[in-house]
Structure 1
Amino acid sequence: MTDPPQSLKPTRGPAGNAQAPSNGLFRMVRTVVALILREIATTYGRSPGGYIWALADPILGVALLTLVFQYALGNTSPPIGSSFPLFYASGYIPFVMYNDINNKMAQSLRYSRPLLAYPAVTFIDALIARLILNSMLHVVVFIVIVSGIAIIQGIPMVLDVSVVLHALALTALLGAGIGTLNCFLVMRFPVWERAWSILNRPLFLMSGIFFTYELMPKIVKDVLWWNPILHLVGLMRHGIYGVYRADYVSEGYILTVSLITILSGLLLLWRRYRALLELH
């Protein structure tokens, strides 16, 4: 087992006795920062262009959707605005952000398992570190891609920054909720990881990435409304396109799903995570 980062080791006084941190919050912050730095070094620092690939995925996804729907299918204009790349980016980026945070947090115990043997590190530290790092990464991705589209296509952008930030925050919260619950489920039931991957695939088609909710028939809308990612996409487009009202969006519903899943996941992990680590 490799030695833990220096900031995770207990401090010692002149007599050589371990001294507990005087402030529990300071200890948690120091531990979370150390875990973030560790993940930056191991996930993005060991492969050439590690950070570039974090941008390449959504850029290629938006480019592919643009090629398919604008050129291959011959669509003359997107459902909102005049820019196909901006329309697809406004839906694709929230979906990718939710999906990535969910997947990364679901693997938190496995990823930080060696460090969780130390009393200074808890499963909550591991979850918070992954949430902060991946949320920051996707905020940067959003800024780079949307700004790049606006500059390249000469689009006058008038974003409602507060709504856009609100949409990004709710996306991170939903990803954290589903990811925390899945963190327990994939450790307790190994088959759940593959089952969730299969169940999660239709969401790409059901989240409003290449259509708007208002264009769907009523019977379809009654089903799609229960997909919280659809609400996130609508809220994001409301912030990017001032003329798009997105009246169907319910922030209360997003918060309810997020809080129920995150509290359920935390309770299950708090009761069982030591036993789960011993099983793997």
Structure 2
Amino acid sequence: MTTVIKRNKWEIWRDVIFALFAREIRTGFSDKLGLSWAFLNPIAFIFLLSAMKSVLGGGQDTHTMPTFVFMAYGLIFIQTFLQTLTSCATAIKKNKSLYAFRQVQPISAVLASGIFELLVKIAVVLGIFAIFYFMDIEIVMDNPLLIIYCIIMLWWLSMMLGLFFGVLTLYVPEMNKVLGLITRPLFFISGSFFSLQDIPREYWPFLDWNPILHAIELTRFGAYRSYGDEGVSLLFFTLSVIVITSISLALYYSSWRQAISR
């Protein structure tokens, strides 16, 4: 006699996310380079831009931080944000055929894509720490809790923005182009390869609206307390994440059924 196993909604949701996560792994590493490209891409950027900044800046340190470490934090953060945002924004439409199964909902696809990107970046960070060790660069973390907090919150922010644009794209397909226009400048204005301290104070208000800049600068401050946190605010960063999360979830829960039926 067949035994029927009853599962609650949380167990079903967990299994759905895991299945979608496994699907992300298969599609994400289906090319020849696979996981190695996830390491080579950010590391190559870090080495290239660190060398350029060292030559142009005339030194091996940037505001009391080793230039390589300075660039590593900035580039890893901005790449995590942009790649998670893009992946989550396309996840809803990419998995649209699976919504015929009532257990599968769009937010599950977004969470699976976000978790996949987070785990890839954690592996990249561990690889870069190994490079630090072989380059004899001391790994300094004066405030590790602040660093972890900024990483998790920035990842969550990118995932919620991905959810927001993913739902809008089902209504207006051209939103993909709008998203591309929005994300391109972020690489240059989010402090990934410069410090807010390098910018004259009168121009700070033009950059301070960007929560990604706050996350990157606060993480550098968490690593090296001597770096300073002038011009950035943990409260502003946290409130930005809360507001964007609220807007994204409100849009999702009010319109996801109509969106996937289009």
What's the TM-score, normalizing by structure 2?
0.91
Is the aligned partner of 1:156 residue 2:135?
no
What are the superposed Cα offsets for residues 23-72 of structure 1, whole Å, 9 maximum, x if unpaired?
2111111111111111111221x22231111112211211221232223x
Counterpart amino acid of residue 164 in structure 1: I
Q: Which runs of 5+ in 1 are unaligned?
A: 1-12
CA distance in 1, matches of 2:68, 2:118: 22
Distance (Å, rounded) in 2 between the aligned partners of 1:254 and 1:82: 23
Distance in 1, matches of 2:223 and 2:53, equals 21
| Matches of 2:105 and 2:5, distance apart in 1 | 15
Quote the offset at 1:82 in angstroms. Answer: 5.5
Q: Does 1:22 align with 2:10?
A: no
| Equivalent in 52, 59, 69 of residue 43 of structure 2 | 59
> AA paired with 2:2?
P
With 163-172 and 88-97 compared, the bigger mean Cα shift is at 163-172
Find 1:76's aligned residue among 59, 80, 95.
59
Distance 1:247 1:74, change over 3 A: closer
Kindly name which structure, 1 or 2, has the bigger radius of gyration based on alpha carbons: 1
- What's the counterpart of residue 96 of structure 1? 79
Q: Could you tell me which runs of 5 or more consecutive residues in structure 2 were left unpaired when the two chains were aligned.
A: none
Measured on the aligned residues, the alpha-carbon RMSD in Å equals: 2.1
SS at match of 2:138: coil
Secondary structure of the 2:114 match is helix
Give % identity: 24
1:159-181 residue CA offsets vs partner (Å, 9 max, x unmatched): 13222211211111211221121
How far apart in 1 are the matches of 2:197 and 2:63?
A: 11
Q: Which structure carries more helix by proportion?
A: 2
Structure 2 match to 1:191: 174
Q: Which amino acid aligns with 2:25?
A: I
CA contact (8 A) 2:65 2:224 kept: no
Q: Which residue of 1 aligns with 2:23?
A: 38
Matches within 5 A, 1:1-280: 14=2, 21-44=6-29, 46-71=30-55, 73=56, 75-81=58-64, 83-148=66-131, 150-159=132-141, 160-279=143-262
Show CA shifts across 1:109-144 (max 9, x none): 112112111011112211221122211211221222
Give the Cα–Cα distance (whole angstroms) in 2 for the partners of residues 209 and 194 of structure 1.
23
Encode CA deviations 1:216-265: one digit per residue, 9 max, x unaligned. 11221111111111111112101222322214332222222222222322
* Residues 174 and 254, structure 1, Cα contact 8 Å, conserved in 2: no
CA offset digits 1:195-233 (Å, max 9, x no partner)? 221122222221112221123112211111111111111
Kindly tell me: are residues 56 and 24 of structure 1, through their superposed partners in 2, closer, same or farther at Cα, counting changes over 3 Å? same
* Distance of 1:61 and 1:277 partners within structure 2: 38
The whole-number CA distance in structure 2 between the counterparts of 1:179 and 1:251 is 22
SS of equivalent residue, structure 1 residue 128: helix
Number of residue pairs matched?
261
1:51 maps to amino acid: L
Distance across 2 between alignment mates of 1:21 and 1:124: 23
Q: Does 177-186 or 75-84 show the bigger shift?
A: 75-84
